[in-house]
Structure 1
Amino acid sequence: MKDKLIKVIGAGVGGVDVSSEHIKWADLLVGGERLLKEINSSKEKLLIKGSIKHILKRIAVAIKEGKKVLVVSDGDPLFFGIGKRMIQEFGKECVEIHPNVTVSQVACARLGIPFDEIKVVSIHGKKEFFYVLSALMQSDIVGIYTDGAEGPKRIAKELLKREIRDFFMIVLEELETDKERIREFKKIEHVLEEDFFDLNFAVLRRISGSKHTLKIGMDDSFYRHERGLITKKEIRVISISKLELKSDSTVWDIGAGCGSVGIECSCISKEGRIFCIEKELKRFLMIKENIKRTGAYIVEAVCGKAPDCLKELPSADRVFVGGGLSEDPLMLEHISRYMKQDGIIVINIALIENLANVLAFIKEKGWEFELTQVMISRSHPIGKSTAFSPLNPVFIIKVEKRSKNVVKDRKEK
């Protein structure tokens, strides 16, 4: 294979496993402080610290000067490493990747976990925690690249804040070194009482018997709700289908009630963000309890009144409106202003007067819409026979927000 201008080398675990041939080949060595310190060479070194954009510019200058660049990375450079960014910046025709064993692989070996049974995520350098929450919904075993010595404590605090107690934590430190240490914490709060080495990897394993049931079309009785204020399961299924959810959709469930629609959206948008917005404190607390019951960890309950609270949330590309339009007919305009372009709004309406008002508003704006009337009857026994009892009919409006429908779009958070 012909040498390329940039080589990105995985250094392995527990030390720097880089061949002398690669070091001799290079004119410039690039890497983190710990890795470069272990390379005994007088070659020019560029420390990765601070803005990665600055490092990439320095590498680009070196290449123009005809220098050969060796980037040293932990483990596999293409597994939560710098390899992806290097290829994006310089192109795969200029970058040669040399993978090595990763910390997550060594951790699985220590714990006897098949590598194909663990979902691995990283919170290194990330403020958001929903990557972990999403992984917890998808797997019983989640490995986490942390952000230094405080990483395990941060994970514990985030879980306790959300009252997630379905997992215990194992922290593996300084793997493949003389200081290697593996500790198991059956209770997450005990993590807060300990100190950890900078080099650590956390594993969350589901406690036996704590698996939740979550699917689209859960029985209404499963959810805690107030006086029948719940989107009935048949209507829920149809409404969710009209949202045309993607795996990474950001969803607002406005007037969420008990949160059943938003919670079941998480079955599809497992890598997205879902916000159940409810102004009544009693119902807001019900949403939080229903999130715990279902294990829909990525769903966030928001106690607030739309549209005022929408500007504080990440822009949505899918919006479900289960209530509130009768109090504020202009809410749709506010929703359109704050959501993304080319998004979808699905509205449930039970009263004819509200339907007339909403349709008049939509037509005045010239928005494209689809209207469906749904009439559901459920069977029940009468003696030895079976009869049907009808539920109240529901009108479902689907509005597709295209560029021409835009009032004013804000920047995504």
Structure 2
Amino acid sequence: MADLPWLTIIGLGEDGPEGLTSASLAALNGAEIVMGPDRHLALLPDTGAERVTWPVPFADGIEKLLSYRGRKVAVLASGDPFWFGAGSVLVRHLSPGEWRAFPGVSCFSLAAARLGWALDKTTCLGLHATPLSHLRPDLAPGTRLIVTLRDGEGPAALAAYLTGEGFGDSQLHVLQSLAGPAEQITTHTASALTPQTAFTHPVCVAVEVQGQGACLSQASGLSDDWFDHDGQITKRPVRALTLSALAPRAGEHLWDIGGGSGSIAIEWLLTHPATQATVIEAVPERAARIAKNAARLGAARLKVVTGTAPDALEGLAPPDAVFIGGGLSAALLARLGDVAQGARIVANAVTLESEALLTQTHADRGGNLHRIALSEAVPLGSKHGWKSAFPIVQWSGRL
């Protein structure tokens, strides 16, 4: 017993200890201290352990938990603590040998079992601490989602969001207190669910998306209309080519220098939920606009830095890839060679001076150099003709 970790994380369902395994029960009964929300603590019989209510906000409980290091502690969490739960947050503060975990059945699994949905074909999202816009990339007719929500007011807020985005015909299966004695499942049309409708926490919602709202493409190069901008935007065809050259991969971090509308960084983030991005933008109004674009399109994790490179690069997490859409200079390239050594880089140039710099950089460092010339059909009297955009010179390589 003395060799066991001091902390045990236990996934508890609404049926209380009835749903626990023998190993979970043994850990619970052997704990000196049990921490968890009041709702979970109320489900437990008296084990003789000291009971500590986990404070709100959640982060306030971390220091208190760590003060018990060396004693036998059990922390109660909902369902599977490592699926949009507290587990991953807790273990960031612990060494591998300090903890063990006994997960319970997640609310996602329970919801799928109640509705007969194939969980492998259903998108599962934790929205209890994330903006509702996080699900914007998944809004398309026929899509099925299961989402966790913060409280009983969450389903009405979700319904209002879906209706505002043009998906008011979506069916919402509101699942309350799953696997507990107070379990209840009701079905509503999003546009008909009013804020006055009361639900009991814990609650999750299974969504069958329907409606005529606009859908985000899964391919690179979203329509420019998705981004609020003042004209400073990498246009759709060039953006698609730029993202292809940047080649985002899961878990990678992008520096987008001279963000404009933030379109490159936002689309980078939309490729995978584990990607990260930082935008450096010198104009405060544009920086604010970038943050709003990111939040609306489900990329609120974008970090926006107001400043001018290379000075604004100091202290940033190192990148795996760098895009220069504005402010290109020899000094910036030299500095990037120091602070982002080994990262992939893509730089776009429009002016003759920037083009000359990239041509020389290609000669010095290698990589790929492309000249992108695009024309668009526009009215010409009663007929149509080609209107050429300024050609783009793009260099891609490694720092």
Is contact 1:249–1:269 with CA below 8 Å preserved after alignment? no
Q: What letter matches 1:30 in structure 2?
A: V
Is contact 2:81–2:87 with CA below 8 Å preserved after alignment? yes
TM-score by length of 1: 0.63
Is contact 1:149–1:198 with CA below 8 Å preserved after alignment? yes
Partner of 1:353: 353
* Aligned counterpart for 1:39 among listed residues 21, 39, 44: 44
- The verdict on how the C-alpha distance between 1:288 and 1:72 changes in structure 2, with shifts beyond 3 A counting, is closer
- Aligned partners of 1:121, 1:87: CA distance in 2, in Å? 21
Is contact 2:277–2:303 with CA below 8 Å preserved after alignment? no
Is 1:207 paired with 2:210? Answer: yes
Query: How far has the Cα of 1:26 moved from its partner?
Result: 0.6
- Aligned partners of 1:42, 1:253: CA distance in 2, in Å? 55
Partner of 1:12: 13
Partner of 1:410: none
SS of match in other structure, 2:150:
coil
- The verdict on how the C-alpha distance between 1:42 and 1:307 changes in structure 2, with shifts beyond 3 A counting, is same
Is 1:76 paired with 2:76? Answer: no
* Aligned counterpart for 1:56 among listed residues 66, 78, 81: 66
- Aligned partners of 1:248, 1:24: CA distance in 2, in Å? 36
Partner of 2:392: 394
CA offset digits 1:167-211 (Å, max 9, x no partner): 744432222345433344433684534333221113333216765
Query: How far has the Cα of 1:44 moved from its partner?
Result: 1.8
CA offset digits 1:92-132 (Å, max 9, x no partner): 5x6554333222222222222222222323244x3x43893
- Specify every segment of 5 or more residues in structure 2 that has no aligned partner in the other structure, as ranges: 55-59, 378-385
Is contact 1:86–1:95 with CA below 8 Å preserved after alignment? no
Is 1:187 paired with 2:190? Answer: yes
- The verdict on how the C-alpha distance between 1:149 and 1:331 changes in structure 2, with shifts beyond 3 A counting, is farther
Partner of 2:119: 115
Q: What letter matches 2:346 in structure 1?
A: V
- Aligned partners of 2:226, 2:131: CA distance in 1, in Å? 28
- Aligned partners of 2:305, 2:33: CA distance in 1, in Å? 52
- The verdict on how the C-alpha distance between 1:355 and 1:212 changes in structure 2, with shifts beyond 3 A counting, is closer
Identity percentage over the alignment?
A: 20
Aligned length: 368
CA offset digits 1:10-29 (Å, max 9, x no partner): 32334332478627851424
SS of match in other structure, 2:109:
helix
TM-score by length of 2: 0.65
After TM superposition, list the pairs within 5 Å mapping 1:187-336 onto structure 2: 187=190, 190-207=193-210, 212-216=216-220, 231=235, 233=237, 235-249=238-252, 251=254, 261-262=264-265, 264-266=267-269, 268-272=271-275, 297-298=298-299, 307=308, 317=319, 318-323=321-326, 332=332
Structure 1 vs Structure 2 CA RMSD = 5.6
Partner of 2:370: 373
Query: How far has the Cα of 1:246 moved from its partner?
Result: 2.9
- Aligned partners of 2:254, 2:133: CA distance in 1, in Å? 16
- Aligned partners of 1:280, 1:253: CA distance in 2, in Å? 15
CA offset digits 1:375-394 (Å, max 9, x no partner): 5589x9xxxxxxx9998643
- The verdict on how the C-alpha distance between 1:245 and 1:55 changes in structure 2, with shifts beyond 3 A counting, is same
Which of 73-82 and 388-397 deviates more?
Answer: 388-397
Which of 165-174 and 255-264 deviates more?
Answer: 255-264
- Aligned partners of 1:84, 1:122: CA distance in 2, in Å? 13
- Specify every segment of 5 or more residues in structure 1 that has no aligned partner in the other structure, as ranges: 64-68, 381-387, 402-413
SS of match in other structure, 1:353:
helix
Partner of 1:164: 165
- Aligned partners of 2:11, 2:257: CA distance in 1, in Å? 47
Is 1:136 paired with 2:138? Answer: yes
